[in-house]
Structure 1
Amino acid sequence: MITRLLVANRGEIARRVFRTCRSLGISTVAVFSDPDAEAPHVAEADLAVRLRGARPSDTYLAVERVLEACRASGADAVHPGYGFLSESAEFARAVLAAGLLWVGPPPAAIAAMGSKIAAKRLMEEAGVPVLPSLDVTAPGEFPLLVKASAGGGGRGMRIVRDAGELAREVESARREAVAAFGDGTVFAEPLLELARHVEVQVLADRHGTVWALGERECSVQRRHQKVVEECPSPGIAPELRERLCEAAVRAARKIGYVGAGTVEFLVKGDRVAFLEMNTRLQVEHPVTELVYGVDLVRLQLEVAEGAALPPVPPVPSGHAVEVRLYAEDAAYLPQSGVVRRFEVTGDVRVDSGVESGSVVSPYYDPMLAKVIAHGSSRAEAVRKLVTALRRARLHGLTTNRDLLLRILENRAFLAGDTHTGFLEDPAGPAHASAPQRTDELPALAAALALAAANRRRAPVLAGLPGGWRNVRSQPRRARFTQAEIVYDPLPEGITTISADPEQVVLERDGVRHTFQIAHYEEGGPVYVDHAGGHAELTPVPRLPEPVEHVAPGSLLAPMPGSVLRVEVEAGDRVTKGQAVLVLEAMKMEHRIAAPADGVVSGVHVEKGQQVEAGAVLAIIQEGNP
Structure 2
Amino acid sequence: MFKKILIANRGEIACRVAATARRMAIRTVAVYSDADANANHVRACDESVYLGGSAPKDSYLRWEKILEAAKATGAEAVHPGYGFLSENEEFAQACADAGLVFIGPPPSAIKAMGLKAESKQLMEKAGVPLVPGYHGHDQDPALLQREADRIGYPALIKASAGGGGKGMRVVEKSADFAAALASCQREAINSFGDDAVLIEKYVQRPRHIEIQVFGDTHGDCVYLFERDCSVQRRHQKVLEEAPAPGMTEAMRAEMGAAAVAAAKAVNYVGAGTVEFIVEQRDGGAMNFFFMEMNTRLQVEHPVTEAITGLDLVEWQLRVASGEPLPLKQGELKIHGHAIEARICAENPDNNFLPATGTLQVYRKPQATAFERSAVRIDDGVREGGEISPFYDSMIAKLIVHGATRDEALARLDAALAQTHIVGVQTNVQFLRGVLATESFAKANLDTALIERERAVLFDREPLGLPLAAAASIARTLLDERATNTQGPFSQRDGWRSLGTTARIFAFEFRGETQTATLRYLHDGALTLDVGGVSGPLVMGRLPGGQIELAFNGGRHRIDVYERQGAAHVFADQGATRIAAIDRLAHAGDSQAEGGRLTAPMPGKVVSFAVKAGDKVAKGQPLAVMEAMKMEHTIAAPADGTVDELMFAPGEQVTEGAELLRMVATAA
Q: TM-score, normalised to structure 1's length?
A: 0.94
* Code of the aligned partner of 1:277: M
Q: Paired residue for 1:536?
A: 577
* Code of the aligned partner of 2:362: F
How far apart are the structure 1 equivalents of 2:346 and 2:159? 24
- Say whether the 8 Å CA contact 1:54–1:62 is kept in structure 2: no
Q: Paired residue for 1:591?
A: 633
Q: Paired residue for 1:359?
A: 386
Q: Paired residue for 1:292?
A: 308
| Deviates further, 528-537 or 82-91 | 528-537
Matching of residue 450 in structure 1 with residue 467 in structure 2:
no
Q: Any idea what SS the aligned residue of 2:166 has? A: coil
How far apart are the structure 1 equivalents of 2:661 and 2:485? 49
Alpha-carbon spacing, 1:114–1:387, altered in 2? closer, same or farther (3 Å): same
Q: Which consecutive unaligned segments of at least 5 residues does structure 1 have?
A: none
- Say whether the 8 Å CA contact 2:470–2:551 is kept in structure 1: no
Q: Any idea what SS the aligned residue of 1:60 has? A: coil
Counterpart of 2:451 (choices 405, 416, 424) is 424
Paired residues for 1:61-210 under 5 Å = 61-134=61-134, 135-139=143-147, 140=149, 141-210=152-221
| Deviates further, 304-313 or 324-333 | 304-313
Q: Paired residue for 1:478?
A: 505
Matching of residue 254 in structure 1 with residue 265 in structure 2:
yes
| Deviates further, 544-553 or 297-306 | 544-553
| Deviates further, 456-465 or 506-515 | 456-465
- Say whether the 8 Å CA contact 2:215–2:271 is kept in structure 1: yes
Q: Any idea what SS the aligned residue of 1:440 has? A: helix
How far apart are the structure 2 equivalents of 1:473 and 1:240? 72
Alpha-carbon spacing, 1:284–1:452, altered in 2? closer, same or farther (3 Å): same
- Once the two structures are TM-superposed, the CA of residue 306 in structure 1 deviates from its matched residue by 1.1
How far apart are the structure 2 equivalents of 1:451 and 1:537? 16
- Once the two structures are TM-superposed, the CA of residue 367 in structure 1 deviates from its matched residue by 0.5
Q: Any idea what SS the aligned residue of 2:222 has? A: strand
Give a deviation string over 1:228-272, Cα, whole Å, max 9, x none: 111011132222212111100100111100110000011113322
Q: Any idea what SS the aligned residue of 1:515 has? A: strand
Counterpart of 2:648 (choices 606, 611, 620) is 606
How far apart are the structure 1 equivalents of 2:392 and 2:454? 28
How far apart are the structure 2 equivalents of 1:233 and 1:84? 29
- Say whether the 8 Å CA contact 1:87–1:151 is kept in structure 2: no
Matching of residue 505 in structure 1 with residue 541 in structure 2:
no
How far apart are the structure 2 equivalents of 1:536 and 1:507? 19
- Once the two structures are TM-superposed, the CA of residue 428 in structure 1 deviates from its matched residue by 5.8
- Once the two structures are TM-superposed, the CA of residue 41 in structure 1 deviates from its matched residue by 1.0
Q: Any idea what SS the aligned residue of 1:48 has? A: strand
Counterpart of 1:223 (choices 217, 234, 246) is 234
- Say whether the 8 Å CA contact 1:557–1:617 is kept in structure 2: yes
- Say whether the 8 Å CA contact 1:326–1:400 is kept in structure 2: yes
| Deviates further, 422-431 or 226-235 | 422-431
Q: Paired residue for 1:328?
A: 346
How far apart are the structure 2 equivalents of 1:206 and 1:599? 64
* Code of the aligned partner of 1:527: H
* Code of the aligned partner of 1:418: L
Matching of residue 316 in structure 1 with residue 347 in structure 2:
no
Counterpart of 1:282 (choices 294, 298, 309) is 298
How far apart are the structure 2 equivalents of 1:54 and 1:507? 48
- Once the two structures are TM-superposed, the CA of residue 547 in structure 1 deviates from its matched residue by 9.5
Alpha-carbon spacing, 1:512–1:365, altered in 2? closer, same or farther (3 Å): same
Alpha-carbon spacing, 1:488–1:54, altered in 2? closer, same or farther (3 Å): closer
* Code of the aligned partner of 1:486: T
How far apart are the structure 2 equivalents of 1:500 and 1:289? 36
How far apart are the structure 1 equivalents of 2:545 and 2:507? 18
- Once the two structures are TM-superposed, the CA of residue 132 in structure 1 deviates from its matched residue by 3.0
How far apart are the structure 2 equivalents of 1:114 and 1:429? 38
Q: Any idea what SS the aligned residue of 2:228 has? A: strand
- Once the two structures are TM-superposed, the CA of residue 385 in structure 1 deviates from its matched residue by 0.3
* Code of the aligned partner of 1:615: A
Counterpart of 1:266 (choices 270, 274, 277) is 277
Q: Paired residue for 1:25?
A: 25
How far apart are the structure 1 equivalents of 2:488 and 2:49? 51
Alpha-carbon spacing, 1:280–1:438, altered in 2? closer, same or farther (3 Å): closer
| Deviates further, 305-314 or 493-502 | 493-502
Alpha-carbon spacing, 1:447–1:39, altered in 2? closer, same or farther (3 Å): same
Q: Alpha carbon RMSD of aligned pairs, Å?
A: 2.4
- Say whether the 8 Å CA contact 2:462–2:576 is kept in structure 1: no
* Code of the aligned partner of 2:122: L
Paired residues for 1:545-584 under 5 Å = 551-584=593-626
- Say whether the 8 Å CA contact 1:34–1:56 is kept in structure 2: no
How far apart are the structure 1 equivalents of 2:218 and 2:440? 41
- Once the two structures are TM-superposed, the CA of residue 180 in structure 1 deviates from its matched residue by 1.1
Give a deviation string over 1:445-504, Cα, whole Å, max 9, x none: 322323444565679769832255767884123222014323343323332334999443
- Once the two structures are TM-superposed, the CA of residue 614 in structure 1 deviates from its matched residue by 1.0
| Deviates further, 561-570 or 480-489 | 480-489
Q: Which consecutive unaligned segments of at least 5 residues does structure 2 have?
A: 135-142, 281-285, 367-373, 521-525, 528-534
Alpha-carbon spacing, 1:502–1:486, altered in 2? closer, same or farther (3 Å): farther
| Deviates further, 435-444 or 346-355 | 435-444
- Once the two structures are TM-superposed, the CA of residue 211 in structure 1 deviates from its matched residue by 1.0
- Say whether the 8 Å CA contact 1:337–1:361 is kept in structure 2: yes
Q: Any idea what SS the aligned residue of 2:105 has? A: coil
Q: Any idea what SS the aligned residue of 2:413 has? A: helix
How far apart are the structure 1 equivalents of 2:485 and 2:414? 41
- Say whether the 8 Å CA contact 1:504–1:515 is kept in structure 2: yes
Counterpart of 1:337 (choices 338, 352, 357) is 357
Q: TM-score, normalised to structure 2's length?
A: 0.88
- Say whether the 8 Å CA contact 2:34–2:53 is kept in structure 1: no
How far apart are the structure 2 equivalents of 1:543 and 1:499? 34
Give a deviation string over 1:306-354, Cα, whole Å, max 9, x none: 1112323421111111111111002200000101122221541111122
Matching of residue 410 in structure 1 with residue 437 in structure 2:
yes
Alpha-carbon spacing, 1:580–1:500, altered in 2? closer, same or farther (3 Å): farther
- Say whether the 8 Å CA contact 1:452–1:501 is kept in structure 2: no
- Once the two structures are TM-superposed, the CA of residue 436 in structure 1 deviates from its matched residue by 6.5
- Say whether the 8 Å CA contact 2:569–2:577 is kept in structure 1: yes
Q: Any idea what SS the aligned residue of 1:407 has? A: helix
Matching of residue 36 in structure 1 with residue 10 in structure 2:
no
- Once the two structures are TM-superposed, the CA of residue 530 in structure 1 deviates from its matched residue by 2.7
* Code of the aligned partner of 1:136: L
- Once the two structures are TM-superposed, the CA of residue 509 in structure 1 deviates from its matched residue by 7.9
Q: Any idea what SS the aligned residue of 1:188 has? A: strand
| Deviates further, 191-200 or 440-449 | 440-449
Alpha-carbon spacing, 1:538–1:501, altered in 2? closer, same or farther (3 Å): farther
- Say whether the 8 Å CA contact 1:563–1:581 is kept in structure 2: yes
- Say whether the 8 Å CA contact 1:561–1:584 is kept in structure 2: yes
How far apart are the structure 2 equivalents of 1:91 and 1:203? 21
Give a deviation string over 1:560-593, Cα, whole Å, max 9, x none: 0111111112332222221010111112210001
